[in-house]
Amino acid sequence: MNVLLAEDSLTMRRLLASQLQGWNYGVTEANDGAEAWELFQNSHFSLVLTDWVMPGMDGLELIRRIRESKHKEYVYILLLTTRSANENLVEAMEAGADDFLAKPCNPKELRVRLRAGERIIELERTLIRQNTRLKQAQAALVQSEKLAGLGQLAAGMAHEINNPISYVFNNLSVLQRDTQAVMKLLERLEPCLPLLRQADPEQGQQLTAAMTACDVPWLQENLPKLFESMQDGLARVRRIVSNLRDFAHLDEALWDNMDVVGALESTVSILAAELESRQLTVDLQADDRPMIHCQPAKIKQVFHGILMNAIQASAAHDLVKIRVSQVKSFVTVEFTDEGAGMDKVTQQRLFEPFYTTHPVGAGQGLGLAISYGIVKQHSGTIDFTTKPGEGSTFRVKLPITAWAPAKSRTATV
């Protein structure tokens, strides 16, 4: 461990330094408070040993500055002084010193006090590590709760939207069919106009005017296009609803045994055109050919979604690596790309439905949300590591024998 030693007396400093080195501490020496503060700012020290009385910045001022610097890790400070009255002790402790040692100090005492400091630093570090882990676990929990909530919302929406879509879609077909009949009627009416004008000029005039106002040729040309456009739009809505149902796994799929490597190979071949157009290479390697019990259609959808994302993140000539490994009763599939990586916001919102980095309308932003839902349903996990500019790795971990969970609560909305 490195110790920052601040002491204006050269003899004293050398003595202390040689003692510290003898106990295997690294020592950085400063001959006054200002130099110590300078050194502290440049590199971090967990342990500081400082004299109280020094020219310029004294020990107390140094301690105050260190305490105010709000370092992430705790700094243990031992104050050395010839002042040993009680009020001195209070003043030193109030400034932020952890311990107080009278000069000249007994080497044995100095050593045990330094060790006490080390223990506290170690405890502090453990605490920070555990705190970080706790925070990560909490974030994961919040994420999973949020997605469960969204799943429920999606299920409710999918159901509620489905009924109106059903009859609107039907009405559109009816309207299209009946409008065609009306247009045919108009076509047959037109040749009769001269006859009508002869028989009843006034009625004939009125009907001609009405037909002109309708702009029949425009209708003939454009009504079919209007219907087509509406059909397309509605088909898109239907697809979104169907994807939402997948996210909320409202529909039940078949369970079967699946060859993981085979499934990956077929996914890669489905995306062959995409890979070729971007001149990407896929490197698929597996220790073995593990079989898992799963819903093959849905797991292939997960592989497809992740590989598609990797393709979209990659630049020309990049390599996409797929690794399959088996540890105990789990099979892990890793997809690594050399692409752009993801920023903080994307990392946090990745699995949310409708979150997309593509322009609105280009992708629906449901791919990873659905994948998350599917993997969760298989009692598996999906996670990732990413570095902006270097690429991302997605890891799907699936149990070899996934039990079909009891009807999930999202399905009973």
Partner 1 sequence: MSTGVKPPILIVDDEPDVLFSLKALLRHDFELYTAESGDEALTILSQHPVHVIMTDQRMPGMTGVELMNHARAQYPATVRIVFTGYADIKAVVQAINSGGLFRYITKPWDPDDLIETLHLAAKRYEEKSARAQFAADVKAFVSDAMTLIQSTVGSEFADDVASLIGRAERISIQADTLPQEPTG
Q: Which listed residue (18, 69, 136, 173) binds partner 1 by CB under 8 A?
A: 173
**Phi-psi region for residue 157, left (φ > 0), alpha (ψ -120 to 50) or beta?**
alpha
Cα 194 to Cα 318: distance, rounded to the nearest angstrom: 72
> Which span (11-19, 165-173, 366-374, 379-387) binds partner 1, by CB under 8 A?
165-173
Angle at which helix 216-247 crosses helix 367-377, to 10 degrees, equals 30
Residue 236 touching partner 1 (CB under 8 A) = no
Residue 166 touching partner 1 (CB under 8 A) = yes
* Minimum distance from residue 402 beta carbon to partner 1 (Å): 20
Which 56-115 positions form the footprint of partner 1 (CB under 8 A)? none
> Which span (171-179, 187-195, 205-213, 357-365) binds partner 1, by CB under 8 A?
171-179
Nearest CA to 308 out of 357, 349, 346 is that of 357
Task: Say if residues 207 and 196 touch (Cβ distance below 8 Å).
Answer: yes
Residue 165 touching partner 1 (CB under 8 A) = yes
Residues near partner 1 (CB under 8 A), total: 19
* Minimum distance from residue 174 beta carbon to partner 1 (Å): 4
Residue 170 touching partner 1 (CB under 8 A) = yes
Name the β-bridge partners of 6: 30, 50
Backbone angles phi, psi at 328, to 5 degrees: 50, -125
CA distances from 375 to 38, 97, 283, 372, 382 (A): 53, 53, 23, 5, 7
Name the β-bridge partners of 321: 283, 336
Closer residue to partner 1 in complex, CB, 246/337: 246
* Minimum distance from residue 238 beta carbon to partner 1 (Å): 6
* Minimum distance from residue 132 beta carbon to partner 1 (Å): 42
Residue 180 touching partner 1 (CB under 8 A) = no
* Minimum distance from residue 292 beta carbon to partner 1 (Å): 24
Closer residue to partner 1 in complex, CB, 24/412: 412
* Minimum distance from residue 228 beta carbon to partner 1 (Å): 15
Name the β-bridge partners of 102: 81
CA distances from 71 to 57, 346, 350 (A): 20, 29, 32
Distance from the first to the final alpha carbon of the chain = 59
* Minimum distance from residue 327 beta carbon to partner 1 (Å): 35
Cα 30 to Cα 202: distance, rounded to the nearest angstrom: 113
* Minimum distance from residue 378 beta carbon to partner 1 (Å): 18
Q: Which listed residue (24, 163, 198, 212) binds partner 1 by CB under 8 A?
A: 163
Residue 144 touching partner 1 (CB under 8 A) = no
Cα 59 to Cα 130: distance, rounded to the nearest angstrom: 33
Residue 411 touching partner 1 (CB under 8 A) = yes
359 DSSP 8-state letter? P
Closer residue to partner 1 in complex, CB, 81/301: 301
**In what helix (H) or strand (E) does residue 248 lie, and over which residues does it extend?**
none
- Look up residue 388 and give its two tokens: 């902006």
Cα 52 to Cα 81: distance, rounded to the nearest angstrom: 5
Q: Which listed residue (82, 171, 203, 277) binds partner 1 by CB under 8 A?
A: 171
| Site pattern 237..256 for partner 1 (x: CB under 8 A) | -x------x----xxx----
Closer residue to partner 1 in complex, CB, 169/355: 169
**Helix/strand/coil for 16:** helix
Cα 33 to Cα 52: distance, rounded to the nearest angstrom: 9
> Which span (57-65, 169-177, 267-275, 376-384) binds partner 1, by CB under 8 A?
169-177
* Minimum distance from residue 370 beta carbon to partner 1 (Å): 15
Closer residue to partner 1 in complex, CB, 73/256: 256
Task: Say if residues 196 and 203 touch (Cβ distance below 8 Å).
Answer: yes
Cα 365 to Cα 356: distance, rounded to the nearest angstrom: 4
* Minimum distance from residue 236 beta carbon to partner 1 (Å): 13
Contacts with partner 1, residue ranges (CB under 8 A):
159, 162-167, 169-171, 173-174, 178, 238, 245, 250-252, 411
